[in-house]
Amino acid sequence: MLMPKPEERLLAMRDDIVAALRDIVPGEGTIADAEALKVYESDGLTAYRQVPLAVVLPTTVEQVSAVLRYCHEAGVKVVPRGAGTGLSGGALPLQDGIVLGLGKFKRILDIDYANRAVRVQPGVTNLAITQAVEHAGFYYAPDPSSQIACTIGGNVAENSGGVHCLKYGMTTNNILGVELVLMTGEIVRLGGRHLDAAGYDLLGIVTGSEGLLGVVTEVTVRILQKPATARALLLGFPSNEAAGRSVAEIIAAGIVPGGMEMMDRAMIHASEAYCRPGYPLDAEAILIVELDGPQVEVDHLIERVREIALACGANSVRASASDEERLRFWAGRKAAFPAVGRISPDYMCMDGTIPRKRLPEVLERMRALSANHGLRVANVFHAGDGNLHPLILFDANVPGETEKAEAFGADILRLCVEVGGVLTGEHGVGVEKRDLMPAMFGEADLAHQERLKCAFDPAGRLNPGKVFPTLHRCAELGKMHVHRGQIPFPDIPRF
């Protein structure tokens, strides 16, 4: 992975940069010590590491604004960072850039139950929002698996998902407003406690922009009332095809489950060995289907899903009779990553999305790729929304295996795009999938996205080297070839 070549000018002015940051954020809020900087050298994508020039941890929006204004004027590159749990390297530091950490913005500012809106600072964890409102019967719906640690600011940057996206949407569908500091230091507010922000939907653009457009200093989220009941079915199938057909039939019947997860044989066995959730070991694939809502509705739909699964050839069907049993069904799924960690020294988690109906075919071709690359793969799949998480098993201590795993991963993502899907469903492009962007987007597609970046950050100082495979100058992108001439189709009748 090639990062933009560090600018000598910036490396040489490190002491000045640190001094300027200290003026804005004094004391421990500015970190320049080599040992202390190492903490920030990577995010959740630990394969890539880079110690930054300095780290600054402001505590007020005024400080964030002053830091960005200084960096804008001095031409210093900035990498924003939340909790550093991202899986695509979005917060990977630059050798010639600073890291701007929002970890000290930890306050919940306002809880408005009547309007179901909660205003929080970006360093509040995803789970802390739910914890702050659950006594009143509410929760915040997106639940990425890192929700104990990941922050809402990072969720906005990555447009994080979770297992409930089909029914409840991703971050972008569950936030109402943000306060955003632009690279110039200007502070703008997008949205608020009302629905449908006015003007261009810049809130929609900033969500999922991976820290390339601005720094979020406040978020207003929408909270939902907790469903009255949740029950789950654990379904075992003799083939991936039967499980896939069952998913399609459930959706076709007009049922939108709160969560619908699939695991393949390799994953079932890894999970069972890890925490004994009681999965059927003779199954080729299992589905966990969770229905939530009013009790009578859930009981009604559990029966309908059971009938559909049996008609599709399920050879084991269990419906949770208690919340304890429901959580046991989920335990194996939630422990999927550590379970794989136990059977392999290293693993790489991929994140493509495919049209659901292509699943059996994709799994089949993935098996062939696995044989070609000589590496094992286990699959967990958000079957409800088509988001696939193949876990590639490898050993980084064996020379060449990391590169093999990367090549295997790239093949899987290209396969996702080929069948009509996308490179990333919820982890983001970051540095990890940056060079694969041309597999999904043409030159003009990418140029239109990059020009949007130029509208926010014309000098390209905010998180450069992420998302886009090639860095273009904004002036170059803005050029337009004009062909003067006759109006086309003069013979088209006017009316």
Partner 1 sequence: MTGMIEPKDEKSLVQLIRWAAAEEKPIELLGAGTKRALGRPVEATLALRLGGIAGIEDYQPEELVVSVRAGTRIADLDLALGQRGQMLPFEPGDWGPLLGAPARGATIGGVVGCNLSGPRRIKAGAARDHVLGIKGVSGRGEVFKAGGYVVKNVTGYDLPKLMTGSYGTLAALTEITLKVLPKPEKTRTLLAFGLDDDAAIRLLCAVAGSPHEVSGLAHLPHGVARRSRVAYVSGAGKATTAIRIEGPAPSVAVRLEALKAIAGKLGALEELHGSNSAALWSEIANGAFFAADDAAQIWRLSVAPTDGPKATALVRAALPGAEAYFDWSGGLVWLAVPPSSDARAQTVRGALGGLDGYATLIRASATTRQSVAVFQPEPSALAALSRRVKEAFDPKNVLNPGRMTAGT
Restricting to residues 373-432, name those near partner 1 by CB under 8 A. 382, 385-387, 420-429
Distance of CA 278 to the CA centre of its chain: 30
Footprint (CB under 8 A) of partner 1, residues 289-328: 293-297, 300-301
Q: Which part of the chain contacts partner 1 (CB under 8 A), choosing from 191-199, 267-275, 364-372, 392-400?
A: 191-199
Mapping DSSP onto H, E and C, the string for 123-147 reads CCEHHHHHHHHHHHCEECCCCCCCC
CA–centroid distance for 271 within its chain: 23
Nearest approach in angstroms of CB 269 to partner 1 is: 27
286 part of the interface to partner 1, by CB under 8 A:
no
CB 231 within 8 A of CB 344: no
CB atoms within 10 A of CB 478: 12
CB of 26 to partner 1, least distance (A): 27
CA distances from residue 98 to 18, 51, 55, 451, 459 in whole angstroms, order as listed: 9, 9, 6, 24, 16
157 in Cβ contact with 91 (< 8 Å)? no
Q: Which is nearer to partner 1, 15 or 445 (by Cβ)?
A: 445
If binding means CB under 8 A, how many residues of this protein chain bind partner 1?
Answer: 108
Shortest distance in whole angstroms from residue 195 CB to partner 1: 5
Q: Are 20 and 72 in contact (CB under 8 A)?
A: no
Task: Write down the residue that tokens 């990425």 correspond to.
Answer: 144
Q: Which of 27, 399, 400, 485 binds partner 1 (CB under 8 A)?
A: 485
Least spacing, CB of residue 62 vs partner 1, in Å? 15
- C-beta separation of 382 from 261 below 8 A: yes
- Examine residue 77 and tell whether it contacts partner 1 (CB under 8 A): no
Site for partner 1, residues 239 to 258, rule: CB under 8 A: 248-249, 251-256
CA–CA gap between residue 127 and residue 150 (Å, rounded): 8
Q: Is 135 in the site for partner 1 (CB under 8 A)?
A: no
**Sheet of strand 77-81, all strands in order from the earlier edge strand to the far edge:** 30-31, 54-56, 97-101, 77-81
Q: Where are the alpha helices (DSSP H) in 253-322?
A: 265-275, 295-311
Binding segment for partner 1 (CB under 8 A), chosen from 96-104, 220-228, 278-286, 316-324, is 220-228
Least Cβ distance, residue 156 to partner 1 (angstroms): 12
Out of 9, 38, 107, 194, name the contact with partner 1 by CB under 8 A.
194
Q: Is 469 in the site for partner 1 (CB under 8 A)?
A: no
- In this complex, which beta carbon is closest to partner 1, that of residue 248 or of residue 335? 248
Residue 169 within binding range of partner 1, rule CB under 8 A? yes
Q: Does the protein bind partner 1 through residue 473 (CB under 8 A)?
A: no
**Between 89 and 118, how does the x/- string for binding to partner 1 read (CB under 8 A)?**
-----------------------xxxxxx-
